């Protein structure tokens, strides 16, 4: 483990004393008339963690002998009632949840350019008493919102960026962009903040009314589609004092997972290669030139030949982001952008090194030079079993939303239009499954870096339609409709209930950290892909958003005038193709 990671783990060990000390004052009001017990795992930890031994023994004996209520009770008798209250409070905020889903959908901002989204969300949080630190980790659109004090510290995270060329009218079951060629929420990230902010507002209310000690933090996933920020968040120490992280991501199902889950996660590095040549007249004196584009093409060819001899688990893909200016000028500048994906740090690092070697070789063959920039990186996620098992109970308690006939009609019509399996919306929550033994890899998410530094889980909440291609206009069809509104409310309930579990049951926090230390990181330790000189690529997507933002602004949702975004756009729900 790198020195930074060891420091992080040790900081949680050393802070355990203060956490236990605060527990006496923090949890007595919530555990009254409860049998006092000391969990076996906590007693074992007292013996195992030498720095805590004396404090644990004294504190636990004092709690047992002197407390009028159960400090280490397995569950407060008030917890079920508080959960019921939390769910009811989430229901009271359904209009706000819907407005957040719709308004962020209308902003449609690409990674690193989520200025309207961040301004809107932080405005809601600041109005409700959260302290917001802006521009964290060197990212202008990143922030941390905090409320409360003391332990445990529970952080909520969800993404806020959208997809290029995915503009789509919501509730319309065929391709119909709001602004042709513009970005849109073809991944559904517009709903995540509605989930987490709703949950946080409810938790704040309960913490104030019931004198619950603890701290809430909210963090946005900026530029997740570029895998561009969370490794920088970790490097900046945003999670160094956090005990539990509750992530949330839109899905068509209601589920959670632990370990490597279904095995379809990969880690990656995102790298841009910039080749520099010499311009010349491409017809009159081509021998005077050195083509940077030739170097790009040779790198791509070299990678394609080498791909045959790489592990089946690897995924690598590219786009040429600069191919020169015009044919009669030998390109003096050209660039290509690669994603190198694999299942673990060593194999990802090997791909990164191989890409650099092939780029250097292409430059030598063409008489050009090359440099590269790390745009983003992501460890493959590894999620916490203790939190997932706790969260699963809350998923089952909340259950799937009640879909209307209109919801199902939209889903089936869209599935038919894109040639997917026609089965409508899911009706049952997914069970918690054992992680697969042999991961195959697939997509990536930079929450992986966070998950290797603090116990984390990733809620999949049901706010979209099954069987869609992903990163597409089709994935935006449901994202400002009753489907996303209902699914976001359900997700907010689970986030709030799961946070209450950890606020009111300190032994669960300890168990989560036991799993993190003794299972997850027993043999594998986090090491960042970032070099000290790497910085967030905050300039990315600036030109695209400067082009499309003025056009999109005409369609920003106005909740003061319209109940829903569908109403503002004049869309009849659902709008489907009629048979000829």
pLDDT, one tens digit per residue, over 274-288 is: 999 999 999 999 999
pLDDT at 207 over 70: yes
Which DSSP letter does residue 481 get?
S
Same domain (yes/no): 234, 370: no
Are both 281 and 365 inside the same structural domain? yes
What per-residue confidence (pLDDT) applies to 5? 36
The phi-psi region of residue 379 (left if phi > 0; otherwise alpha if psi is between -120 and 50; otherwise beta) is beta
Instruction: Give a yes or no: residue 37 inside a domain.
Output: yes
Interval 433-455 mean pLDDT = 95
Q: Are residues 144 and 98 in the same domain?
A: yes
Q: Determine contact, residues 373/247, Cβ cutoff 8 Å.
A: no
The residue among 321 and 30 whose pLDDT is bigger is 321
- Please state, as a whole number, how many other Cβ atoms lie within 10 Å of the Cβ of residue 436: 13
pLDDT tens string 228-255: 999 999 999 999 999 999 999 999 999 9
In a domain, 556, yes or no: no
- Residue 237 φ then ψ, to 5°: 80, 20
pLDDT of residue 19: 42
528 in the same domain as 446: yes
Give the domain CATH number at 313.
3.30.70.360
In sequence order, what are the residues at sequence separation of 6 or more whose Cβ sits closer than 8 angstroms to the Cβ of residue 265? 380, 381, 439, 441, 442, 443, 444, 445, 448
Q: What values do phi and psi take at 448, rounded to 5?
A: -55, -40
> Can you tell me the distance from the alpha carbon of 195 to that of 208, in angstroms, rounded to the nearest whole number?
20
Q: What pLDDT score was predicted for residue 578?
A: 86
Residues 389, 432 contacting (CB under 8 angstroms): yes
Q: Which secondary-structure segment (H or E) carries 521?
A: none
pLDDT at res. 75: 53
Q: Are residues 460 and 539 in the same domain?
A: yes
Q: What is the spatial distance between Cα 571 and Cα 563, in angstroms, rounded to a whole number?
A: 13
* 90 and 211 assigned to the same domain: yes
Task: List Cβ neighbours of 311 (8 Å cut-off, separation of 6 or more).
Answer: 342, 347
- Closest by CA position to 456, among listed 151, 125, 158: 158
Average pLDDT score over residue span 523-549: 97
Q: Domain check: are 292 and 317 in the same one?
A: yes
Give me the residues paired with residue 443 across strands.
265
Same domain, 357 and 501: no
| Residue 275 domain flag | yes
Q: How far apart are CA 555 and CA 105, in angstroms?
A: 10
- The enclosing domain of 215 has a CATH number of 3.40.630.10
pLDDT value of residue 46: 39
Q: Tell me the H-state helices in 128-167.
A: none
Count of domains for the chain? 3
Is residue 574 included in any domain, yes or no? Answer: no
Q: What angle do CA 142, 184, 481 make, to 5 degrees?
A: 105
Kindly state whether residues 40 and 188 are assigned to the same domain. Answer: no
pLDDT at 76: 64
The confidence band for 37, taking pLDDT boundaries of 50, 70 and 90, is very low
Report the alpha-carbon distance of residue 276 to residue 330 in Å, rounded: 11
- Is the confidence at residue 518, as pLDDT, over 70? yes
Global pTM value: 0.87
* Average pLDDT rounded to a whole number, residues 39-56: 39
Chosen domain end from 326, 354, 375:
375
CB 227 within 8 A of CB 446: yes
- Residue 242 and residue 156 in contact, taking contact as beta carbons nearer than 8 Å: no
Same domain as 387, residue 369: no
Domain termination residue (choose one: 375, 405, 432):
375
- The helix/strand/coil state of 250 is strand
Report the mean per-residue pLDDT for the chain.
Answer: 90
Q: What distance lies between CA 285 and its chain's CA centroid?
A: 52
Residue 39 has pLDDT above 70, yes or no: no
Stretch 117-143: mean pLDDT, rounded? 98
Structural domain includes residue 562: no
**How big is the CA angle at 452 (ends 449 and 456), to the nearest 5 degrees?**
95
Q: What is the CA radius of gyration of the chain?
A: 25
Domain boundary among 353, 375, 397: 375
Residue 43 binned pLDDT confidence (cut-offs 50, 70, 90):
very low
Question: 3-state DSSP: the chain helix, strand, coil percent, rounded to 5?
Answer: 45, 15, 40
Would 557 be classed as within a structural domain? no
DSSP 8-state assignment for residue 474: G
In a domain, 558, yes or no: no
CA nearest 512: which of 266, 28, 2, 154? Answer: 154
Domain identity same for 169 and 196 = yes
More confident residue, 36 or 145: 145
d(CA 198, CA 94): 9
pLDDT by residue (tens digit) across 154-206? 999 999 999 999 999 999 999 999 999 999 999 999 999 999 999 999 999 99
Same-domain check for residues 256 and 384: yes
Residues near 242 by Cβ (< 8 Å), separated by ≥ 6?
A: 153, 154, 155, 217, 454
Instruction: Report, as an integer, the average pLDDT of 458-477.
Output: 98
Q: Is residue 11's pLDDT more than 90?
A: no
Q: Domain range holding 179?
A: 83-260+380-550
pLDDT (mean) for 375-393:
97
Task: Report the C-alpha gap between 191 and 172 in whole angstroms.
Answer: 18
What angle do helix axes 482-504 and 506-515 make, rounded to 10 degrees? 100
Structure tokens that stand for 381 in this block: 């996620």
- Please indicate, yes or no, if residue 174 is contained in any of the structural domains: yes
């Amino acid at each position: 483990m790198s020195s930074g990671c060891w420091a992080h783990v040790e900081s949680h060990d050393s802070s355990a004393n203060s956490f236990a000390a605060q527990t006496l004052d923090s949890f007595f009001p919530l555990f009254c008339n409860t049998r006092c017990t000391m969990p076996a795992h906590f007693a074992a930890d007292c013996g195992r963690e030498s720095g805590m031994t004396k404090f644990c023994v004294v504190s636990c004996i004092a709690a047992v002998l002197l407390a009028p209520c159960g400090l280490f009770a397995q569950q407060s008798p008030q917890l079920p009632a508080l959960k019921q209250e939390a769910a009811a409070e989430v229901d009271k905020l359904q209009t706000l949840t819907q407005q957040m889903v719709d308004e962020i959908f209308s902003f449609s901002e690409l990674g690193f350019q989520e200025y309207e989204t961040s301004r809107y969300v932080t405005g809601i949080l600041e109005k409700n008493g959260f302290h917001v630190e802006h521009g964290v980790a060197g990212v202008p659109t990143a922030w941390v919102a905090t409320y409360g004090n003391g332990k445990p510290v529970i952080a909520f995270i969800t993404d806020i960026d959208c997809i290029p060329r995915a503009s789509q009218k919501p509730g319309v079951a065929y391709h119909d962009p709001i602004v042709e060629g513009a970005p849109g929420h073809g991944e559904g990230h517009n709903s995540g903040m509605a989930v987490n902010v709703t949950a946080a507002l409810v938790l704040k209310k309960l913490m104030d009314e019931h004198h619950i000690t603890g701290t809430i933090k909210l963090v946005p996933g900026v530029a997740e589609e570029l895998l561009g920020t969370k490794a920088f968040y970790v490097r900046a120490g945003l999670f160094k004092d956090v005990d539990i992280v509750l992530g949330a991501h839109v899905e068509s199902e209601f589920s959670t997972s632990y370990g490597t889950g279904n095995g379809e996660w990969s880690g990656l590095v995102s790298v841009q290669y910039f080749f520099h040549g010499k311009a010349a007249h491409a017809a009159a004196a081509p021998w005077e030139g050195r083509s940077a584009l030739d170097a790009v093409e040779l790198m791509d060819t070299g990678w394609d030949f080498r791909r045959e001899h790489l592990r089946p688990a690897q995924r690598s893909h590219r786009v040429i982001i600069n191919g020169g200016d015009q044919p009669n000028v030998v390109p003096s500048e050209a660039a290509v952008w690669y994603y190198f994906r694999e299942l673990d740090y060593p194999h990802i690092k090997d791909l990164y090194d191989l890409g650099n070697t092939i780029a250097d070789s292409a430059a030598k063959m063409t008489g050009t030079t090359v440099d590269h920039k790390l745009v983003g990186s992501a460890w493959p996620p590894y999620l916490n079993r203790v939190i997932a098992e706790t969260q699963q109970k809350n998923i089952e308690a909340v259950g799937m939303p009640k879909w209307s006939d209109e919801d199902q009609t939209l889903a089936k019509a869209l599935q038919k239009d894109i040639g997917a399996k026609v089965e409508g919306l899911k009706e049952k929550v997914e069970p918690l499954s054992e992680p697969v033994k042999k991961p195959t890899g697939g997509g990536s998410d930079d929450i992986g870096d966070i998950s290797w530094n603090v116990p984390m889980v990733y809620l999949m909440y049901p706010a979209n339609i099954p069987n869609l291609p992903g990163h597409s206009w089709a994935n935006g069809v449901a994202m400002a409709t009753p489907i996303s509104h209902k699914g976001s409310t359900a997700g907010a309930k689970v986030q709030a209930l799961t946070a209450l579990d950890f606020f009111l049951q300190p032994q669960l926090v300890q168990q989560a950290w036991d799993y993190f230390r003794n299972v997850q990181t027993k043999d594998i330790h986090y090491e960042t892909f970032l070099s000290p000189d790497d910085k967030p690529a905050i300039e990315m997507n600036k030109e695209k958003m400067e082009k499309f933002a003025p056009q999109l602004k005409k369609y920003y949702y106005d909740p003061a005038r319209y109940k829903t975004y569908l109403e503002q756009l004049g869309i009849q729900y659902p709008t489907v193709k009629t048979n000829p």
